[in-house]
Structure 1
Amino acid sequence: METVTGLVDGLRRAGVREVDTSTRRRAEYSSDASLYRVPPEAVVFPRDDDEVAATLAVCREQGVPLTSRGAGTSIAGNAVGPGVVLDFSRHLNQVLAVDPDARTARVRPGLVLDALQRELKQYGLRFGPEPSTHSRCTFGGMIGNNSCGSRALAYGKTSDNVVDLDVLAGTGERLTATRGADPASSPVLTSVHEAVRAHLATIRTELGTFDRQVSGYSLEHLLPENDFDVARALVGTEGGCAVLLGATVSLVESPAAALIVVLGYPDMAAAADAVPALLPYRPTSLEGMDHRIVDAVRGKRGDSAVPALPGGQGWLFLELGGASVAELLPTARQVIADAGAVDSEIVTDPGQQAALWKIREAGAALSQRSTENKPAYAGWEDAAVPPAKLGAYLREFDALMADRGLSGMPYGHFGDGCVHVRVDYPLTDGPSGVRVFRDFLTDAARLVASYGGSMSGEHGDGRARGELLPLMYSPAALAAFAAVKDAFDPDGVLNPGVIVRPAPLDADLRVAQAPPVRTGLGFTYPHDHGDLTTAVHRCTGVGVCRADNTGSGGVMCPSYVATRDEKDSTRGRSRVLQEAINGTLVSGLRSPEVRESLDLCLSCKGCSSDCPAGVDMATYKAEVLHQTYRRRVRPASHYTLGWLPRWARLAAHAPALANAALRAPGLSTVAKRFGGIDARRSLPSFARTTFRRWFERHRPQSTDGDPVLLWVDTFTDHFTPEVGVAAVRVLEDAGFTVRLPRRGLCCGLTWISTGQLDAAKRILGRSVGALAPAAADGVPIVGLEPSCTAVFRGDAPDLLGDKETSAVSGAFHTLAELLTRHRPQWTPPDLTGTTVVAQPHCHQHAVMGWETDRALLAAAGAEVTAAGGCCGLAGNFGVERGHYEVSVQVAESALFPAVRAAGEDATVLADGFSCRTQLDDLLDRRGVHLAELLAAKRS
């Protein structure tokens, strides 16, 4: 504690403004996207170069390790350290300058790659290398690891695209690292130059032997014949030699047109054998995969996520770029003639090309579960061999996995000879599983070295492979690495334990340390063997939750998009929960750290579909609230908002009186204060007549249609009965006879979201029992409120876990699903000329999907734009005191800009009551339900 206090005091005296030593923050930064857990003593968020220099000076003075970090997407343990972690992504994340004539850009280390790419579009330029993490990886991380990506075949590695680097050496000296640097201009460079001169023969013979030799340091750039290029040599040193302050990077022109030649082969190794013959065609990308990845995408995302592929079990995606598609077609045909494929296809349509690349990107994420549906881990993630040897290497590598009883889903940049794979090491087996991990990595390193390859082809060695470098390099080469490291960082302050004098590869592994937790739980966790410990350890840290996915229609993670704080990412929350379950940094689920971490979780369920590891933070939050407050006094909002259906049924006896009371200035203020509701929120009005009462008086068009059971949720019944009325008219128009379930039923949504799971199971169980006969008779059930429908489709099986619940779950449909599946002959009203900006409800996005709604609207002729992200109200979240500002920020991230851009004449489609309430409350814009839109246009 004294050491930490002295560190913090030293940093503050030096003028460093944001220093966080809280247990929660240390838990969030204890890991990256790797298998390693190293809690730091402090996390610093520097605001300028002076603060970076001051932090380094204090660390040198006190002998505290310093680790630089961007998005924390490093999969080899490159971005974790025991001392101070410098997070550049919060403040030092700008594009400083773009020179389109020179084709260069000046960037800060915390800048996300996609942010630069968006700015460069106006110039027709781009940064060439593009890792699959492009939506969240930062330039500091890319430079640290020498990142590549699928188009590095055409544009080179990151090291091929740097002009100069502004760095602080470990000595504290500030340098401009560039090509042709004068060794005499700096004490550090003088020492580096002397180290290189002492190892010239070794560097010339062992380094730079093929393009993807990323393991170790790329000292070949420091040779005299390469003009002592210090910038390129520092790329890939993983923050162990210098701290990056800024970089000038070179840009390339975006091709005007592109096409993809998809080539099918009997298996992936056969596809790899074909690569050398295809490289002379100079593709911009040449990616390889097999049925394992494709099957994983189908299994997780459905058949529609995989476009038709040529015959075979292994495929190459060969991309050609040029001035026009017509210009590229002759080359594409010649590629097919020389490829030796069993089947092939030329894809010119940009939409189809995007769908193909989505297989590749989705597969990369989904490979976190092996073919045996076990957790698959990083460790041996990006080995590379010369492309001519790739097929033979893949056959031996698959045999090695099979021999050890392991599995994975290999894929990768075959044009560069780089293969990605996550392997299902049995790490939960304890020491025996760790031995399997160590033995496999050792043998895999020997295998790749026997092919003249590199253990790392683009992600760096980190903590996973540094110990294995002697299997790839001679003692002389390792001595050269150490000499250069010591010249830059003589005190060993920068990222120790990585590459030079590495930590053991099985030290500090991030694995579940707690025994299984299977009793006393609210949820059944069927996908995690009923174990909460397994569930909260799903997160592998790839950081998709740190990306702004709203532009692509994603939802995860709305609070992070608003705050840009790791605390509010799904990954940050997972780390805190892992520490709490393990009883390590955080002392249990009732700890204040867990409460802080989950406070801004909107329970939107976006992560349950968008997170590649299948993290479901809404479920975990409900479970934590259940465990925390079970048989205890709860926050006020749990009784007001959590019991909303009860209060609504009570108010239905005198809705006018209830509305008057809730709007009376004094009474309204008191009610909000004692109800835990933010004073700035207006309260929705209870309807004068409930939907059920309207239905009792309703005379159906016909009683001979196919029966459909219309689920009557609290929001439709008591607040917006017009939605139910419209739905009845649409269903009857489609030839259905509408029935309602008996009174007094509820899905239990508000009890679930507030963690009152015992009550939720009782309420939901009664509803399932009442609906089961209809489901058994094959009567479809349609839900109008997406969150309530999602309870039956998602939460109910996980809460109740019986066959009756599964049958009811399978009978539930959204309105669009019901019309599409059960009335394909039904013709929707003509929406030609109607501009629709839609807000797909988060729960619908996560559980049911919104593509059926989109297709229905498109078939009706509407011009549809779907806003990404969350509305920000999210049930009780945005109403609760303390959440208002974030609720507004979330709404402003995607929904509100989309509505404003659409104009006053556009129809705002929002099936969720919360979404419509947020629009009305904050934007004074009325949103309509799909049922209302269809009914209005039909009438």
Structure 2
Amino acid sequence: MALSNNEIIADLRKSLGHEQVLARRVEIQAYAGDASIYRLVPIVVIRPRDFADMNAILEYCRDNKLYLTFRAAGTSLSGQAVTDGIMVDVAHHWKGIRVLEDGGQVAVEPGVVGSHVNAFLKRYKTKMGPDPASIDACMMGGIAANNASGLCCGVQFNTYNTMAAIKLLLADGFYLDTAEGDPDLSLQRERPQIYEELVRIREIILTTPGLKDRLRSKFSIKNTCGYSMNAFVDYENPADILAHLIVGSEGTLGFIGEITLNTIPDKPLKATALVYFSDLPDAGLAIHQLANAGAAVLEIMDRKSMLSVAQDMNYGFEPTGNCAAVLVEFQEEGEAELEARMAEAVKILSRHILIARVEFTRDPKLQAHYWNMRKGLFPSVGAMRKMGTAVLIEDVAVPPARLAECIVDLQDLLNKYAFNDAIIFGHAKEGNLHFVLCNDFANPRHVARYEELMEELTSLIVTKYDGSLKAEHGTGRNIAPFVEREWGTEIYQLMWRVKKLLDPLNILNPGIVLNLDPKVHLQNLKMMPLVSPIVDKCIECGFCEPKCPSRDLTITPRQRIALLREVARLEAVGDAASRKEAREIMEGYRYDGIETCAGDGMCSVACPVDIDTGAMIKNMRAEKHGAMAKWVARRVAANFKAATAGARFGIRFLRATGAPGMAVARVASNVAYKLSDATIPRIDGSILLPKPALPLPKPQSRGDNARKIVYYPSCLTRSLGSLDDERATVGLAEAVVTVLEKLGYEVIIPAKVEETCCGQPFYSKGLFEACTDSLSATVSLLFKASEEGKYPIISDTSPCTGELRGGGKLLTDEKHRQWKALRIFDFVEFIAKEIIPLRASWPKAARHAIIHPTCTLKKLGALDDLKTVVAAFANSASYPVHDECCGFAGDRGYNVPELTMSATRQESAEVLRLATESVRTAEGSAKVGYYSTCRTCEIGMTAGTGKTYQSVVYLCYDALVK
């Protein structure tokens, strides 16, 4: 008799531990979708910690006739990362990375984000071969399981061709590490039946006329349709064949616990151009010529693709007719070689009809702009779709010489089925094309239209072009019904032999890659009901997820949106069972979705269409605030001097009374937190409290001719002082004033500054009226102190800077006019832009600086300014790869301390490693210092790392004053 879901959950918790098994309604629904058009709700979500846990899961599935799906980032586009069985999350615990052979190889576990691998390799001047457009979000598990390639790597440097070793686990529990001992001998001894059958299949392929040549021909272009059957041609030893079959198998043949890749050189010199052609077929001809001239990148975009990003690109012309754009990049080791490549390219392009003059750029910022545009094409067109429709992306490859011809055929096909807004783009050098279209899968007529399109697309690519139905996105359930049509019966049946050999009980991602149901691609389609204008354009691509501080604690921005969509769908169904399920989701959503959202807006930075899920959550917080909470907030805003004085008194009291005082504060603050609807923070004692802030200094007057600057000390600076182990000998405000005076400025601290606040503490809680009150008062104060904008204004706290700079949307009329007159700088911006350029060199503090850039500093685009300041005043510096949001978010670190501890876990581990390395390699008496630009972020990072963080102002103070 089949087990019930509750029995499965109980068994797995007993075996693996309660924390590794997620089964609440909000948790399983959060994993119901990936980046594709499919949606299935798993029975349970498991987070195995190691191979022992994974083996136990496989054994349980074998014994109980259950099936599972492995999932890393969930950025899959063909439906291979969703299931109605057991979901195995291999992102949570599997984050190991080892750089080997002086950067010549890198070993990675499945939960490592792709771009992080290249960040760790940067110092070695190498990178991994695969470079998918989603590299900032996708993880190595999916990159390996889908045999990802991408924009530059082509076939030569894809996962399959750069793999050096693999640690894998088969469905029957057999573990193989191809880097240890003799893997072929291990396979022969421990699994002789697998060893012998692989030998037999290879013999069939080599001796059957045409099969070997067919495989070589098909895999000469990108191909992820079906299994990597070229392994039987490329390798002789069964262990090598097995290892390469696993790559690209989408979790249907085994689990990849670690993969070691050979890296490739990251050439330092790059020249990039966006070339505009008046005619698409002419662009196709140029692509072939540019490829022969050594172009590393050739990315084509049709006219509709160009229009989808026109707002960001500022073309200077109207894309019309059948025009096209090609992103061209040359990458070289030496200047002479690069100049020669560019000259040849210009010569080639002079023979074609272009809309605008060709201009190659070496500017990293402009190059990044081009690349971000290209990588964001898929979500960008999704944001322009009719709201409520789902977005899908198809992925085909044809011989490169026939690229332009194929684009025209695809345009005709899409127009035939009235997909008038579809765009076509792709990796032109490799003959790899993507097209994106939008469809309402809640409408049966539109589902039928999609079915007809897929039938005709398959015939076009297979019959006319002998191309690949999936070039790099994996087969999934999207193309599974068409695999035999592409490969023919002989090779298709050999694929089934491989599947039955390695997964005889069909427990690994069944129905993915191979499926006998001709309609599977039309089932379990995703609905996209409207939930909020802020997020309705989200296509659930998952680009936001690595930036979210709650990603390893609860849920992510994509999941927050998807859950609300599911609630809307259930409520629209309206029966008792659906309403009950919707209520269960929302019960869990209060903590998972709302309480643990930092609201930092970093999701909007990662999102190609700037969706700020945190803004939606702030609105949800605002909706739940009653009249009392709003009244309390506005009273606090109106009496802010008393509020900061109360904060200093409370801190002084707690530090003086120790544990008994903390016990009282814990109870009292929790009551106040609930009565005020989270307006007043709660203190639980798990996150350290600093000392109370010292009084504000009294700046010196320097006469009428002195350069003047207005200094706005934030409410955090006026409330929170130094940490116990902090080396600071003066308060932050005094350090700012002293540094500015040392640089020749007369510092003006506005009168009655202690009565004001920028409003950020209220805005983050959805208390918008109180925020507006605070901001209005502060703008008036600064307008007067700066003599109506005559003097620059400096802030010592990045979130405060951000609120002051971006708060204009809350102001009207006279207040808005005053706000526009203000020139507001963050401290590091002012020092970097106005001070450091004045001298060739500056005195340095004997510090190796380890830096935590705040979210606001990144959103302000001031990260380079921070780096400029640190480079000027520190002996040396390190910037962790995992420098994401610390999750403290004002007072949220005190309210939800587990958010900060989870958000900082990876960065903390990296910081401790960097500190050890810097001590070992430091010159002279240089000590390690830990710096950021916001007091609460510094508290959060101190809590996470055990190292004392302080403001970067103190780095400047130590260098210039001490």
Q: Which interval holds the TM-score relative to the shorter structure? A: 0.7 to 0.9
How far is the alpha carbon of 1:47 from its aligned partner? 3.5
Aligned to 1:190: 197
The question of whether the paired residues in 2 share the 8 Å contact of 1:297 and 1:363 is answered with no
CA deviation profile, 1:21-46 (whole Å, cap 9, x unmatched) = 23233123222222322121122233
Computed over aligned residues only, the root mean square deviation of the Cα atoms, in angstroms, reads 5.5
Of 392, 417, 434, the residue aligned with 2:405 is 392
Aligned to 1:24: 26
Looking at structure 2, the residues matched to 925 and 801 of structure 1 have their Cα atoms a distance apart, in angstroms, of 35
How far is the alpha carbon of 1:457 from its aligned partner? 1.0
Looking at structure 2, the residues matched to 124 and 874 of structure 1 have their Cα atoms a distance apart, in angstroms, of 36
**What letter is aligned with 1:927?**
S
**What letter is aligned with 1:212?**
K
How far is the alpha carbon of 1:236 from its aligned partner? 2.4
Looking at structure 2, the residues matched to 116 and 721 of structure 1 have their Cα atoms a distance apart, in angstroms, of 37
**What letter is aligned with 1:538?**
C
Looking at structure 1, the residues matched to 736 and 65 of structure 2 have their Cα atoms a distance apart, in angstroms, of 71
1:222 aligns with 2:232: yes
CA deviation profile, 1:665-700 (whole Å, cap 9, x unmatched) = 154652354222132555556667568xx69xx878
Aligned to 1:595: 591
Looking at structure 2, the residues matched to 543 and 795 of structure 1 have their Cα atoms a distance apart, in angstroms, of 27
Provide closer, same or farther for how the CA distance between residues 933 and 807 of structure 1 changes in structure 2, counting only shifts above 3 A.
Answer: farther
Looking at structure 2, the residues matched to 358 and 64 of structure 1 have their Cα atoms a distance apart, in angstroms, of 47
CA deviation profile, 1:871-930 (whole Å, cap 9, x unmatched) = 554310223364464476477367788899598679977543434566889655642549
The question of whether the paired residues in 2 share the 8 Å contact of 1:16 and 1:55 is answered with no
User: 3-state DSSP class of the match of 1:152?
Assistant: coil
Aligned to 1:552: none
CA deviation profile, 1:554-574 (whole Å, cap 9, x unmatched) = xx23454xxxx2635444544
Question: What pairs up with 1:381-530 in 2 under 5 angstroms?
Answer: 381-398=394-411, 400-401=413-414, 404=418, 406-407=420-421, 410-423=424-437, 425-427=438-440, 430-431=443-444, 434=447, 437-438=450-451, 440-449=453-462, 450-469=464-483, 472=486, 474=488, 478-479=492-493, 481-501=495-515, 504-513=520-529, 516=531, 528=533
Provide closer, same or farther for how the CA distance between residues 140 and 725 of structure 1 changes in structure 2, counting only shifts above 3 A.
Answer: closer
Aligned to 1:75: 77
User: 3-state DSSP class of the match of 2:426?
Assistant: strand
Looking at structure 2, the residues matched to 575 and 187 of structure 1 have their Cα atoms a distance apart, in angstroms, of 42
Query: What TM-score do the two structures reach when normalised by structure 2?
Result: 0.74
What percent identity do the matched residue pairs reach? Answer: 20
The question of whether the paired residues in 2 share the 8 Å contact of 1:7 and 1:62 is answered with no
Provide closer, same or farther for how the CA distance between residues 894 and 479 of structure 1 changes in structure 2, counting only shifts above 3 A.
Answer: closer
Provide closer, same or farther for how the CA distance between residues 656 and 266 of structure 1 changes in structure 2, counting only shifts above 3 A.
Answer: closer
Looking at structure 1, the residues matched to 11 and 268 of structure 2 have their Cα atoms a distance apart, in angstroms, of 55
How far is the alpha carbon of 1:839 from its aligned partner? 5.7
Provide closer, same or farther for how the CA distance between residues 355 and 657 of structure 1 changes in structure 2, counting only shifts above 3 A.
Answer: closer
CA deviation profile, 1:714-748 (whole Å, cap 9, x unmatched) = 34566679379839978997899997799965443
The question of whether the paired residues in 1 share the 8 Å contact of 2:639 and 2:755 is answered with no
How far is the alpha carbon of 1:368 from its aligned partner? 0.5
Provide closer, same or farther for how the CA distance between residues 804 and 447 of structure 1 changes in structure 2, counting only shifts above 3 A.
Answer: farther
How far is the alpha carbon of 1:67 from its aligned partner? 1.1
Looking at structure 2, the residues matched to 730 and 898 of structure 1 have their Cα atoms a distance apart, in angstroms, of 34
Provide closer, same or farther for how the CA distance between residues 826 and 293 of structure 1 changes in structure 2, counting only shifts above 3 A.
Answer: farther
**What letter is aligned with 2:642?**
L
The question of whether the paired residues in 1 share the 8 Å contact of 2:637 and 2:770 is answered with no
Provide closer, same or farther for how the CA distance between residues 790 and 14 of structure 1 changes in structure 2, counting only shifts above 3 A.
Answer: closer
Which of 910-919 and 737-746 deviates more?
Answer: 737-746
The question of whether the paired residues in 2 share the 8 Å contact of 1:576 and 1:586 is answered with no
Question: What pairs up with 1:626-637 in 2 under 5 angstroms?
Answer: 626-630=622-626
Provide closer, same or farther for how the CA distance between residues 31 and 212 of structure 1 changes in structure 2, counting only shifts above 3 A.
Answer: same
Aligned to 1:521: none
Looking at structure 2, the residues matched to 652 and 877 of structure 1 have their Cα atoms a distance apart, in angstroms, of 17
User: 3-state DSSP class of the match of 1:264?
Assistant: strand
User: 3-state DSSP class of the match of 1:612?
Assistant: coil
Aligned to 1:605: 601
1:912 aligns with 2:934: yes
The question of whether the paired residues in 2 share the 8 Å contact of 1:212 and 1:458 is answered with yes
1:567 aligns with 2:554: yes
The question of whether the paired residues in 1 share the 8 Å contact of 2:711 and 2:748 is answered with no
The question of whether the paired residues in 2 share the 8 Å contact of 1:728 and 1:738 is answered with no
1:678 aligns with 2:684: yes
Looking at structure 1, the residues matched to 589 and 402 of structure 2 have their Cα atoms a distance apart, in angstroms, of 51
The question of whether the paired residues in 1 share the 8 Å contact of 2:298 and 2:326 is answered with no
User: 3-state DSSP class of the match of 1:370?
Assistant: helix
**What letter is aligned with 1:567?**
T
CA deviation profile, 1:359-413 (whole Å, cap 9, x unmatched) = 3245313540229734796532432221101122234434555663543564432
The question of whether the paired residues in 2 share the 8 Å contact of 1:380 and 1:441 is answered with no
Provide closer, same or farther for how the CA distance between residues 290 and 505 of structure 1 changes in structure 2, counting only shifts above 3 A.
Answer: same
Looking at structure 1, the residues matched to 648 and 365 of structure 2 have their Cα atoms a distance apart, in angstroms, of 54
The question of whether the paired residues in 2 share the 8 Å contact of 1:590 and 1:624 is answered with no
Provide closer, same or farther for how the CA distance between residues 871 and 759 of structure 1 changes in structure 2, counting only shifts above 3 A.
Answer: same
User: 3-state DSSP class of the match of 1:508?
Assistant: coil
Provide closer, same or farther for how the CA distance between residues 363 and 106 of structure 1 changes in structure 2, counting only shifts above 3 A.
Answer: closer
Looking at structure 1, the residues matched to 265 and 894 of structure 2 have their Cα atoms a distance apart, in angstroms, of 46
The question of whether the paired residues in 2 share the 8 Å contact of 1:576 and 1:594 is answered with no
How far is the alpha carbon of 1:82 from its aligned partner? 1.1
Looking at structure 2, the residues matched to 164 and 820 of structure 1 have their Cα atoms a distance apart, in angstroms, of 50
Aligned to 2:157: 156
Query: What TM-score do the two structures reach when normalised by structure 1?
Result: 0.76
How far is the alpha carbon of 1:460 from its aligned partner? 0.8
Aligned to 2:328: 317
CA deviation profile, 1:314-352 (whole Å, cap 9, x unmatched) = 234243456x444565566445544556655666x6xx4
Aligned to 2:61: 59
Looking at structure 2, the residues matched to 236 and 816 of structure 1 have their Cα atoms a distance apart, in angstroms, of 48
Looking at structure 2, the residues matched to 740 and 408 of structure 1 have their Cα atoms a distance apart, in angstroms, of 59
